[in-house]
C-alpha cells in the first residue's frame, strides 16, 4: 500500500498518516500480531545470508521496535558507569519484598531512530538519566516497553523513569513523571503505551495503587485514572470499538477487565486469570481473547456485548494450555498459543475454543519470550537463543525455515514489505531476501 499522504507540517511539526506500510504498535497494524497483506518477509537467513543491514545497539532492551515511514524506532537503557553517591541512591520502600538488587550507577534511558533503508542513525535522544530504584529479573531489562505512534507523535514509556512524546524528528514535545512503580519481587517494568484517537493509555499495575491511566496525547495531562484491584502485571491494553463505545481491555491476575475509553468506568470482567498476567488481550469480530499461563492456565473468549462479571457465561473457556510471557496470535479464525514459555504450540478454534492442535513440541526452538507474528500465511517465532522458526500457518503447521542469529531474541518480529526487522539483545537486524 502506498502512503496516503506525504509528510505535512501541522502545528509546527511533521505529521504522517499511519498506513499498512508502517508498524505503529508492538503487535503490528491491527495489534493482533498479524502483518499487513503486503508483507512477504524471507523464510531463510543467517548472519551471512539475507541480512540487509545490521547495527549495534547501546545498552540493553527487550522492547519490540516500531516502524513509521522511513524510521525504525527502538528504546534502550544504557549503563553510564557513573556511580551514584549515597545521597543520590533511591531509598528502598520497606513495604515490598524484593529478590533483586538495584544498581548503584546511573542509566541513560534512550530513544533511537534508524533509517529503514540502510540502518544509519537518524537521531538519538536521552529521555532521562537516573539510578533505578529496583533491579530486574536476569532475563529482563530497563527498556522493555515498546514505543508507539499515531503518525503525529512518538510515545515512549520508561515507566518509573518517565513518559515522553516526541515529534517525528526527535524533538521532545512533553514528558510526565507518574511516580515509581513497585513490581512483584522487583522483577522489573514493562509499560507499553497504547494510542487511540487523542488518548494515550498506560497499564500502571504494580504491588500497590494499580491503575489504568489515560493521558491527553497532545499535552500529556491526565484525563482519568481507573483504580484496579490487581498486583503487578506486564500486559499491554487492547482497544476495541464496539456498537458506539470504545473499550479498553486489560489483563490481570484477579480479572481481565474492560473499561470505557470515555471515562474509565468498568464495563465487564472475567477471571480468575493467573499470577503474572503478561500476555496482552486480542480482539476480533466482536470478541476479546485473554490468556495467562504462569502456574496455571486460563484462556477466555468474551463477547464485547458483555456487562458485569461474565466469568460463568463467556463464549468459551480453556484451561489446559496458555502462554506465560508470549502473547497469543490470532490468525484466520485460529488462536495460536504456546505452553508457558516452552516450545509447545497449540491451536484453538477462535469461535468455539475447540482444540485443533494439541500441544506440539517445536524441537528447533528453545525458550520463548517474544510473541509470534504472522505474515504471508506464515508464522514467525523467536526464541531466546537467536533462532527464528518459520511455520506454514494452518491446523497442521509445517516447518519452512529454521534461522539462527548470533544474538538473543526477546523482542517480537516485525514484518513490512519484503523486510523482517529483528531486535536482538545486541543488534537491530533488517532481514531481506535478494
The answer to whether the CB of 106 falls within 8 A of the CB of 131 is yes
- Average pLDDT score over residue span 396-418: 97
**Which 8-state DSSP code applies to residue 160?**
G
What was the pLDDT predicted at 211?
Answer: 98
43-79 pLDDT tens trace: 999 999 999 999 999 999 999 999 999 999 999 999 9
The answer to whether the CB of 14 falls within 8 A of the CB of 169 is yes
Higher pLDDT pick, 138 / 10? 138
- Average pLDDT score over residue span 21-49: 96
- Measured distance CA(415)–CA(91) in Å, rounded: 43
Residues of the chain above pLDDT 90, percent: 94
- Measured distance CA(334)–CA(329) in Å, rounded: 8
pLDDT higher than threshold 70 for residue 206: yes
What was the pLDDT predicted at 115?
Answer: 98
324-346 pLDDT tens trace: 999 999 999 999 999 999 999 99
What was the pLDDT predicted at 14?
Answer: 59
Domains of the chain with bracketed CATH: 1-30+63-228 (2.40.128.630)
pLDDT higher than threshold 70 for residue 408: yes
Helix, strand counts (H, E) of the chain: 0, 35
Nearest to 72 by CA among 416, 432, 425: 416
**Which 8-state DSSP code applies to residue 29?**
T
pLDDT higher than threshold 50 for residue 2: no
The answer to whether the CB of 61 falls within 8 A of the CB of 143 is yes
Question: Which residues pair with residue 389 across a beta bridge?
Answer: 381, 402
- Measured distance CA(320)–CA(153) in Å, rounded: 41
- Average pLDDT score over residue span 81-99: 96
Nearest to 393 by CA among 408, 376, 410, 370: 376
Grid coordinates given for 296: 496455571
Q: Is the dihedral of CA 305, 306, 312, 317 positive or negative?
A: positive
**Dihedral, 136, 138, 142, 147 alpha carbons, nearest 10:** -120
What was the pLDDT predicted at 15?
Answer: 67
CA distances from 109 to 121, 165, 333 (A): 17, 14, 40
179-195 pLDDT tens trace: 999 999 999 999 999 99
pLDDT higher than threshold 80 for residue 5: no
235-290 pLDDT tens trace: 999 999 999 999 999 999 999 999 999 999 999 999 999 999 999 999 999 999 99
pLDDT higher than threshold 90 for residue 12: no
How does residue 17 score in pLDDT terms, banded at 50, 70 and 90?
confident
- Average pLDDT score over residue span 301-310: 97
How does residue 4 score in pLDDT terms, banded at 50, 70 and 90?
very low
How does residue 7 score in pLDDT terms, banded at 50, 70 and 90?
very low
The answer to whether the CB of 54 falls within 8 A of the CB of 428 is yes
pLDDT higher than threshold 80 for residue 355: yes
**Which 8-state DSSP code applies to residue 234?**
-
pLDDT higher than threshold 80 for residue 11: no
- Measured distance CA(354)–CA(294) in Å, rounded: 22
Q: Beta strands 398-404 and 51-56: pairing type? A: unpaired
The answer to whether the CB of 144 falls within 8 A of the CB of 135 is no
Mean residue pLDDT across the chain = 95
Compute the half-sphere exposure of residue 207: CA atoms within 13 Å on the CB side of its CA.
16
375-402 pLDDT tens trace: 999 999 999 999 999 999 999 999 999 9
Q: Taking the model in full, what pTM does it have?
A: 0.95
Nearest to 283 by CA among 350, 233, 225: 350
**Which 8-state DSSP code applies to residue 384?**
T
Amino acid at each position: 500500500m502506498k502512503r496516503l499522504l506525504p509528510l505535512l507540517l501541522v502545528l509546527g511539526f511533521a505529521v504522517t498518516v499511519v498506513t499498512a506500510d508502517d508498524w505503529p504498535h508492538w503487535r503490528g497494524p491491527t495489534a493482533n500480531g498479524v502483518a499487513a497483506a503486503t508483507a512477504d518477509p524471507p523464510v531463510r537467513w543467517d548472519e551471512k545470508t539475507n541480512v540487509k543491514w545490521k547495527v549495534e545497539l547501546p545498552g540493553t532492551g527487550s522492547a519490540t521496535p516500531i516502524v513509521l515511514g522511513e524510521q525504525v524506532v527502538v528504546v534502550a537503557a544504557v549503563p553510564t558507569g557513573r556511580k551514584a553517591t549515597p545521597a543520590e541512591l533511591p531509598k528502598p520502600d520497606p513495604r515490598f519484598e524484593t529478590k533483586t538488587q538495584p544498581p548503584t550507577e546511573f542509566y541513560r534511558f534512550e530513544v533511537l531512530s534508524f533509517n529503514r533503508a540502510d540502518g544509519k542513525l537518524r537521531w538519538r535522544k536521552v529521555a532521562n538519566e537516573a539510578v533505578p530504584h529496583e533491579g530486574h529479573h536476569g532475563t529482563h531489562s530497563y527498556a522493555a516497553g515498546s514505543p508507539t505512534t499515531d503518525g503525529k507523535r512518538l510515545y515512549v514509556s520508561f515507566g518509573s523513569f518517565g513518559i515522553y512524546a516526541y515529534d517525528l524528528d526527535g524533538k521532545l514535545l512533553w514528558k510526565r513523571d507518574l511516580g515509581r512503580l513497585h513490581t512483584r519481587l522487583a522483577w522489573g517494568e514493562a509499560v507499553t503505551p497504547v494510542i487511540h484517537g487523542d488518548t494515550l493509555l498506560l497499564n500502571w499495575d504494580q504491588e500497590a495503587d494499580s491503575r489504568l491511566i489515560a493521558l491527553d496525547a497532545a499535552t500529556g495531562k491526565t484525563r482519568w485514572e481507573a483504580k484496579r484491584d490487581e498486583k503487578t502485571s506486564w500486559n499491554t491494553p487492547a482497544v476495541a470499538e464496539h456498537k458506539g463505545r470504545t473499550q479498553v481491555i486489560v489483563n490481570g491476575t484477579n480479572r481481565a477487565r474492560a473499561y470505557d475509553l470515555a471515562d474509565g468506568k468498568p464495563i465487564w470482567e472475567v477471571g480468575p486469570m493467573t499470577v503474572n498476567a503478561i500476555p496482552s488481550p486480542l480482539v476480533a469480530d466482536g470478541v476479546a481473547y485473554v490468556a495467562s499461563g504462569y502456574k496455571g492456565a486460563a484462556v477466555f473468549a468474551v463477547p464485547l456485548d458483555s456487562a458485569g462479571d461474565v466469568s460463568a457465561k463467556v463464549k468459551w473457556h480453556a484451561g489446559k494450555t496458555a502462554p506465560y510471557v508470549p502473547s497469543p496470535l490470532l490468525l484466520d479464525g485460529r488462536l495460536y498459543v504456546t505452553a508457558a514459555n516452552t516450545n509447545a504450540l497449540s491451536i484453538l478454534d477462535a469461535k468455539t475454543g475447540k482444540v485443533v492442535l494439541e500441544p506440539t513440541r517445536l524441537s528447533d526452538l528453545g525458550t520463548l519470550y517474544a510473541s509470534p507474528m504472522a505474515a504471508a500465511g506464515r508464522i514467525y517465532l523467536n526464541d531466546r537463543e537467536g533462532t527464528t522458526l518459520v511455520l506454514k500457518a494452518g491446523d497442521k503447521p509445517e516447518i519452512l525455515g529454521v534461522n539462527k542469529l548470533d544474538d538473543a531474541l526477546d523482542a517480537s518480529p516485525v514484518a513490512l514489505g519484503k523486510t523482517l526487522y529483528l531486535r536482538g539483545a545486541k543488534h537491530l537486524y533488517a532481514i531481506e531476501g535478494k
